[in-house]
Structure 1
Amino acid sequence: MSASACVPQFMLAGIAIGALSGCASAPMTRGGSLSSYERLKPSDGLLTKSLLHVDKEQVLAARSVRIWPTVFAPGASPQLSEEQRRLVANLIDRALCGGLSERLRIVGPDEPADLTTHVKVTQAAPTDEMAAGASKVASIVPSALGVRVPIPRIPIGLGSLTVESEAQDAAGHQLAAMVWARGANSFTNSPKVSAVSDPYDLGSSFATDFSQMLVTGTTPFGQPPRLPSLESIGTSLGGQPKYAACEAFGRDPGLVGMIAGNVGLPPEWSDKGAATNPP
């Protein structure tokens, strides 16, 4: 029996539509939080739009970094609850902590540091929960019927995220800056039944790109993939972070989060957020 005979016609139509248009757009919104926008230049990735600047020598000379808590611009995401915004902001900080730990020592908010990061979310379009639920059902049914057909996510109600960030030296001078925008797509962003699903996933992608820029001193786009260290793998599975200061952002949901995401559960169910009593 052919695959088309086993897969309902609406699923095949979803595949065709997804192949034609499977990515949400994200505006390059500026929130006015950067100390300067003058030296920003376009540096786009395959899925990401960005403007960035980095003083390579000075950034690579840094040995420590302080992560200032991520904030949302007023009106950046009216459809998301305050709890959901806190979840995204904390995820960004936690992911930054892990990524920057690859080269830099992470210090607490009251300790001196060579660099201080500042991050502001300027736009966060929510995920359509009904469309995400339908996508998850559409992806499960073929497997239940014994058919191995990849089912792209229905390209309706995809969320997006726009962030601006910078790293300053101890004197407050900008050494690196980035305006980053990306929309969820039908192929790499798994649908979860939550309005914050896509902004949450995209927050991790932003943190990976921004931390890589500060670790390498160059654009994160168009570069060969970097193999994660054993420490970062352990942290991503919910293990203890390399530096105690990262405990303030809580532990990664690890395998529990992966399993929950695979079945479409909201990230709010598995991510406990920031630590209640950080060290």
Structure 2
Amino acid sequence: MAGCATAPLDEAGSLASYTDLAQADGLLAKSKLRIDKEAVLAARTVRLVPTVFSDTARRDTITEDQRRLVTNAVDRSLCAGLSERFQVVAPSESADLTVHAVVTNMTPTDEKAVAATKLASVAKSVLLPGIPVPTPRIPIGLGSLSMEGEAKGRDGRQEAAMVWGRGATFLSGSARVSTSGDAYELASAFGDDFSKLLVKGESPFKSLSGPPSMERLQSWAGGAPKYAACEAFGREQGVTGLVSGAMGLPPEWTDKGSGAGVVAAAPAPAEP
């Protein structure tokens, strides 16, 4: 049995252009990207359009509420990551860059396989107390997530684009007992990778990242984000998120989702 799920890099048509996309894979993620480094590094402000599911993405495997949590997890991660260098403004404000992302494909997680893994972990704790033996996932029904992301300048020209896909692995210890469990976890991974592309002006897989800022650490701990615009996507769960992930609780049980007044399924961004 395969030890990891595969995620396709299909083109869903959400990008202004797919020309000159170059293969740039990471250790776990597959991607194609392009970036106008000079233009992106010159930008100082960014506005974020809420993530949506593409028309071609399967919608019958998870509920509408689960889709909202997945797309909101993308936006929350993007907003926090972009805050490392950019000033994030409200969607109604003008900005140097307009960023949007689209879910192009999602493979659901097999809840029964995850539950069996969690039971095996509990059994190991009972039979081998105090012995640090890892419990890998049963490699059945591993979920995956495929995304497209784009940043446009004030003139509507594409300044950066990424087609990205990543699947869960049998070593994904924070698997959740939910059909959207893996997609929810991978949503944050995409947000991290795409925001690093824009912050650094180069492939996020090219080199190791430096230490996170104090604002980023505060955000991970559930504190207030650096910019008020990011409050629209809710706050990280901090310790609660770590504990619920270790226990395998469904994200819909613990994540409150977006903040008040946010439309979870917004149309594609209009030209600035």
Query: TM-score range, shorter-chain basis?
Result: over 0.9
1:35-90 deviation digits (Å, cap 9, x = unpaired): 00011010001111100001111100000000011010124132011111111111
- The equivalent residue for 1:10 is none
Query: TM-score, normalising length from structure 2?
Result: 0.92
1:84 aligned counterpart, secondary structure: helix
Aligned-residue offset at 1:258 = 1.1
Q: Is the 8 A contact 2:50 2:71 kept in 1?
A: yes
What is the distance in 2 between the residues matched to 1:57 and 1:250?
Answer: 32
What is the distance in 1 between the residues matched to 2:35 and 2:56?
Answer: 29
Q: Is the 8 A contact 1:35 1:174 kept in 2?
A: yes
1:132 aligned counterpart, secondary structure: helix
Aligned residues: 259
Of the three residues 166, 171, 175, the one matched with 2:159 is: 175
1:139 aligned counterpart, secondary structure: helix
1:122 partnered with 2:104: yes
Higher relative contact order (CA 8 A, sep 6+): 2
Q: Is the 8 A contact 1:153 1:190 kept in 2?
A: no
5 Å-filtered alignment, 1:185-204, equals 185-204=169-188
- The equivalent residue for 2:231 is 247
- The equivalent residue for 2:20 is 39
What is the distance in 2 between the residues matched to 1:178 and 1:162?
Answer: 11
Q: Is the 8 A contact 1:136 1:192 kept in 2?
A: no
Percentage of identical aligned residues: 54
- The equivalent residue for 2:209 is 225
1:255 aligned counterpart, secondary structure: helix
- The equivalent residue for 1:65 is 46
CA RMSD, Structure 1 to Structure 2 (Å): 1.2
Query: TM-score, normalising length from structure 1?
Result: 0.90
Q: Is the 8 A contact 2:8 2:165 kept in 1?
A: yes
What is the distance in 2 between the residues matched to 1:206 and 1:148?
Answer: 30
Q: Is the 8 A contact 2:176 2:249 kept in 1?
A: yes
1:89 partnered with 2:71: yes
What is the distance in 2 between the residues matched to 1:128 and 1:264?
Answer: 13
What is the distance in 2 between the residues matched to 1:27 and 1:139?
Answer: 31
Task: Indicate the structure (1 or 2) with the bigger Cα radius of gyration.
Answer: 1
1:23 partnered with 2:4: yes
Structure 2 residues not aligned, in runs of 5+: 263-272
Q: Structure 1's 189 and 61: CA in aligned 2 closer, same or farther, altered over 3 A?
A: farther
Q: Is the 8 A contact 2:136 2:173 kept in 1?
A: no
1:208 partnered with 2:192: yes
- The equivalent residue for 2:267 is none
Aligned-residue offset at 1:222 = 3.1
